[in-house]
Amino acid sequence: MNVNQSAPPVPPFGQPQPVYPGYHQSSYGGQPGSTAAPTPYGAYNGPVPGYQQTPPPGVSRAPASSGAPPTSTAQGPCGQTAYGQFGQGDVQNGPSSGVQMQRLPGSQPFASAPLAPVVSQPAVLQPYGPPPTSAQVTAQLAGMQISGAVAPAPPPSGLGYGPPTSLASASGSFPNSGGPRMPPMTGPLLPGQSFGGPPVSQPNHVSSPPPQTLPPGTQMTGPPGPPPPMHSAQQPGYQLQQNGSFGPARGPQSNYGSPYPGAATFGSQPGPPQPLPPKRLDPDAIPSPIQVIEDDRNNRGSEPFVTGLRGQVPPLVTTNFLVKDQGNASPRYIRCTSYNIPCTSDMAKQAQVPLAAVIKPLARLPPEEASPYVVDHGESGPLRCNRCKAYMCPFMQFVEGGRRFQCCFCSCINDVPPQYFQHLDHTGKRVDAYDRPELSLGSYEFLATVDYCKNNKFPVPPAFIFMIDVSYNAVRSGLVRLLCEELKSLLDFLPREGGAEESAIRVGFVTYNKVLHFYNVKSSLAQPQMMVVSDVGDMFVPLLDGFLVNVNESRAVITSLLDQIPEMFADTRETETVFAPVIQAGMEALKAAECAGKLFLFHTSLPIAEAPGKLKNRDDRKLINTDKEKTLFQPQSGAYQTLAKECVAQGCCVDLFLFPNQYVDVATLSVVPQLTGGSVYKYACFQVENDQERFLSDLRRDVQKVVGFDAVMRVRTSTGIRAVDFFGAFYMSNTTDVELAGLDGDKTVTVEFKHDDRLNEENGALLQCALLYTSCAGQRRLRIHNLALNCCTQLADLYRNCETDTLINYMAKFAYRGVLSSPVKTVRDTLITQCAQILACYRKNCASPSSAGQLILPECMKLLPVYLNCVLKSEVLQPGAEVTTDDRAYVRQLVTSMDVAETNVFFYPRLLPLTKSPIENTTEPPAVRASEERLSNGDIYLLENGLNLFLWVGASVQQGVVQSLFGVSSFSQITSGLSVLPVLDNLLSKKVRSLIDSLRAQRSRYMKLIVVKQEDKLEMLFKHFLVEDKSLSGGASYVDFLCHMHKEIRQLLS
């Protein structure tokens, strides 16, 4: 198959980038092109007119050999669909072709800016010395010297925390990271090729070996030298290793073929390129997510994170650590993009680092950490500032012997009520500070008084209403019977407060197709009674008494109803459904009962029956990559927004479980769940035998999780910054209050801040998140989280205290909202430009001078390019041919309320080798980088991204391993697409099944397992998740994207 044929949809790399005022816009390498033949391979994609320019002198590129697969199903009728990635459908129908793309001999050159070493450098000025001789260089390679200190052994491939990262460029063609790899090259250095003197290491960045560059005018002849290894100033003494872990380096892998015949390379002189053996940027010489995660675990996993100090950057989300609350909220509740924010808006604009916080107000804590204390101030209620209404917190300053306090947010002086008065000690602190949670902790709760309640009445406990689609599709698939059977036992596990014996939540039941059936399940009845409402245009609730009941009191009637529902509709021929009237009915029922609550909707098809909210099939793949693509993400009609607004006013949250066999317009159906703080679950082509475990697990978790109802959240800040933008699943009727009909422990609200005044370094900046909500027992509460941040006048301090994972969470949400109003290409370009500006500002203002050929990254942001590339390649921003419109809309709304740990693994999946460590070792194996070249055909790997779980089996796995894990005697007998491992009584089987259980326990949704055999058609789906490789939908490999970012940065700096 010719890689240059049938170009995939063009992403923004393939088109001219926006010209920055004052910057020269030229060909890909940032220079005018030479006279070499034009490349047929558009910049990262298929042919792109704007980029068909000749390569700059000295740069060429070979096309990718094999990319990641297309993602998900083209959802036709269920029987023929390709496998649906997010809807996890029937796995026997994978993409038809398992053919590997072959690299063409003599590929055309691909213009790309020469990426200089990603070197990290000191912030002290150190000019590079004269080029060393060839002998000196050889000695340098044998024992690399950092900072002129004693030479340690070569360091690990990933970079530890240390000085700024910079990468040595392989000035040659960079094969894409998908597909076969060249064996490591060795040999003498080229004549004229030089290393600059090693940079001095300094805490803010990562040092790598000095750049390997050619002086202008030098022609490359002879064998190229070895690719420079990465260096970390703080980790001497380990062999460079392929998978980012320590140990002996691995040689080339037998199953990945030899170097490509005749791949084009270049000379660095203008004129036609000289044919030469290719040299490439070593993937081990660029920052490794695995190494950074591993280093953080080793450095910060053993000690508790104590929150007493202002502006501390917490350990990474991938590190297991304990939190001790000593005055600032735990990072489980709030994570920031930076913990040291610029003092002025000009400085913030210059750096372009978004200032945002990802807040998870009801986050679940590990058992070793205490839940927030509940403070009861009686009828007077919580103490607040009279002017800005901020709640009492550890940062408030008591003055005048404790009779007054100064607000830390607005500086207003307030009187202390007599009942709250306490004397101060010699430091000016109240003597009871450590006895009061609100004066000593970052997170705590207040019991709210009646003034905080709707209509000045205390709330009654919430209700759950189960609304079940009983149309032909739902009954035929076995869904209705499965659900009714499960609800009989699940109703015993409704959420309850603390030590309560039974849940205070009442339940009700509705079934529907194109009419609605309400059920009276009053405890005094012998049998349930059905009432039918066929006028769906004017929805009302036909009964009040007996609709919402206590489970224990009405258990016999409820059980009888759940037995009868599957029988009543067993012979239905009704295929049409309504949707909006169902939500309307549930909301009206809660309104009549004067309580908040949640609707659980189980729905199968596009609502085409005549009724309010009727939808038409508007799925149109031809809109992809056009200006009208955004309409695919927008709801069809405004009716659902209006309905959502009414639901929020009533405290009616909607959780939607979808079971589509074809297009159902997720973009429109998810509007109400999205705006009410609910969740959407999607099971494409649902089959009981394949999907029941996943559905029931999600349902159990969803019904049992603790939820706050009828909630309002406000974020207050100290003078100088203010909250300006919000992302997540909620509704806003004004610019400050986030309204949530329901909020659970998995949902986050992301808040962006902007300057409205100057900050000062001494005072720092403060955030206070206050959430008012009704608990599951009907108690009105206020949950408060406080966080103090540092402020800086030096850009270096900003870059030293950023958190890349949170930055990516914010950028993904920003982009995913952007697709509602802008073309996808514009959104992608905006992300790339912002990332380039962040890194260019660092290069210009914080890194010491060095050759423009070096890519220098701040230590805290060295993974920004690889993670950003994963966001750019995601289904929403760059769909493969197999990804359905519904899948894209589903992922878009899912990511909107993900926390930082979820986006981290979603965009950069974890790949765990299962057969490398001894069988007796039961700890989780160390991950390897998400690239095909890390797979060995003699091993088995587990890959997870929070939604999907794959078990990849190499074709040469030992027979004993196959027998132990699958209970069959050879690789060929393993069933591809298997979703359950057999329970076998041996160490390996127990270890792998236990690892799968522990991964599932860490995630908020059940991950269905899919066994993928090497060279099988399902492997295309699996390879889509190997995010460091080039993807079939046109996404760049990590190496290519790093080159592209470097070119963008150089362009900004020129």
Arithmetic mean of pLDDT, 1004-1030:
95
Angle between helix axes 555-568 and 479-490 (nearest 10 degrees) is 170
H or E stretch covering 101: none
Q: How confident is the model at residue 27 (pLDDT cuts 50, 70, 90)?
A: very low
What pLDDT, on a 0 to 100 scale, did the predictor assign at position 468?
98
| Tokens describing residue 963 | 């027998």
Arithmetic mean of pLDDT, 189-213:
40
| Tokens describing residue 480 | 């209705």
Residue with tokens 């059905």: 530
What pLDDT, on a 0 to 100 scale, did the predictor assign at position 916?
87
Query: Which sign does the torsion angle of CA 133, 134, 139, 140 carry?
Result: positive
Distance CA 811, CA 825 (A): 15
| Tokens describing residue 199 | 């940079």
Residue range 717-776, pLDDT digits in tens = 999 999 999 999 999 999 999 999 999 999 999 999 999 999 999 999 999 999 999 999
Start-end of H helices in 925-983: 959-966
What pLDDT, on a 0 to 100 scale, did the predictor assign at position 218?
34
| Tokens describing residue 807 | 């930055």
What pLDDT, on a 0 to 100 scale, did the predictor assign at position 167?
58
Q: Are 736 and 696 in contact (CB under 8 A)?
A: no
Reply yes or no on whether the pLDDT at 598 is more than 50: yes
What pLDDT, on a 0 to 100 scale, did the predictor assign at position 174?
39
Q: How confident is the model at residue 837 (pLDDT cuts 50, 70, 90)?
A: very high
The 3-state secondary structure of 239-254 reads: CCCCCCCCCCCCCCCH
Reply yes or no on whether the pLDDT at 1043 is more than 60: yes
Q: What is the mean pLDDT of the chain?
A: 80
Q: What is the CA radius of gyration of the chain?
A: 30
Arithmetic mean of pLDDT, 424-453:
96
What pLDDT, on a 0 to 100 scale, did the predictor assign at position 280?
66
What pLDDT, on a 0 to 100 scale, did the predictor assign at position 281?
76
Phi, psi of 351 (to 5 degrees): -80, -30
Distance CA 840, CA 846 (A): 10
Total residues belonging to the chain: 1054
pLDDT: is 143 or 1008 the higher one?
A: 1008
Q: How confident is the model at residue 1032 (pLDDT cuts 50, 70, 90)?
A: confident
Reply yes or no on whether the pLDDT at 191 is more than 70: no
pLDDT: is 245 or 535 the higher one?
A: 535
Phi, psi of 660 (to 5 degrees): -85, 145
What pLDDT, on a 0 to 100 scale, did the predictor assign at position 282?
83
Burial status of residue 628 (CB atoms within 10 A of its CB: 0-12, 13-18, 19 or more)? exposed
Q: DSSP letter at 197? A: P
**Percent of the chain residues past pLDDT 90, beyond the cut:** 68
Arithmetic mean of pLDDT, 682-704:
96
Reply yes or no on whether the pLDDT at 933 is more than 60: yes
What pLDDT, on a 0 to 100 scale, did the predictor assign at position 149?
32
What pLDDT, on a 0 to 100 scale, did the predictor assign at position 559?
97
Q: How confident is the model at residue 653 (pLDDT cuts 50, 70, 90)?
A: very high
Reply yes or no on whether the pLDDT at 236 is more than 90: no
Residue range 957-970, pLDDT digits in tens = 999 999 999 999 99
Residue range 794-821, pLDDT digits in tens = 999 999 999 999 999 999 999 999 999 9
| Tokens describing residue 936 | 């060995």
Reply yes or no on whether the pLDDT at 114 is more than 90: no
The whole model's pTM is what?
0.78
Q: How confident is the model at residue 881 (pLDDT cuts 50, 70, 90)?
A: confident
What pLDDT, on a 0 to 100 scale, did the predictor assign at position 173?
36
What pLDDT, on a 0 to 100 scale, did the predictor assign at position 276?
53
Arithmetic mean of pLDDT, 453-460:
92
Residues 6+ apart with CB under 8 A from 346: none
Residue range 285-344, pLDDT digits in tens = 899 999 999 999 999 999 999 999 999 999 999 999 999 999 999 999 999 999 999 999
Arithmetic mean of pLDDT, 655-676:
97
Q: Are 206 and 859 in contact (CB under 8 A)?
A: yes
Q: Are 243 and 928 in contact (CB under 8 A)?
A: yes
What pLDDT, on a 0 to 100 scale, did the predictor assign at position 848?
84
Reply yes or no on whether the pLDDT at 414 is more than 70: yes
Residue type, 417: P
Reply yes or no on whether the pLDDT at 198 is more than 90: no
Distance CA 825, CA 130 (A): 45
Among the residue ranges 404-413, 503-512, 620-629, 720-729, the one predicted with the least confidence is 620-629
What pLDDT, on a 0 to 100 scale, did the predictor assign at position 852?
79
Residue range 991-1000, pLDDT digits in tens = 999 999 999 9
Reply yes or no on whether the pLDDT at 231 is more than 60: no
Arithmetic mean of pLDDT, 103-111:
38
What pLDDT, on a 0 to 100 scale, did the predictor assign at position 880?
81
**Percent of the chain residues past pLDDT 70, beyond the cut:** 73
What one-character-per-residue DSSP string does 838-898 give?
HHHHHHHHTSPP--TT---BBGGGTTHHHHHHHHHTSTTTS--TT--HHHHHHHHHHHHT-
Distance CA 103, CA 833 (A): 31
Residues 6+ apart with CB under 8 A from 467: 509, 510, 511, 512, 582, 585, 586, 599, 600, 601, 602
Q: Are 989 and 981 in contact (CB under 8 A)?
A: yes
Residue type, 426: H
Distance CA 413, CA 404 (A): 7
Helix-, strand-, coil-residue percentages of the chain, each rounded to 5: 25, 15, 55
What pLDDT, on a 0 to 100 scale, did the predictor assign at position 697?
97
Distance CA 1039, CA 428 (A): 56
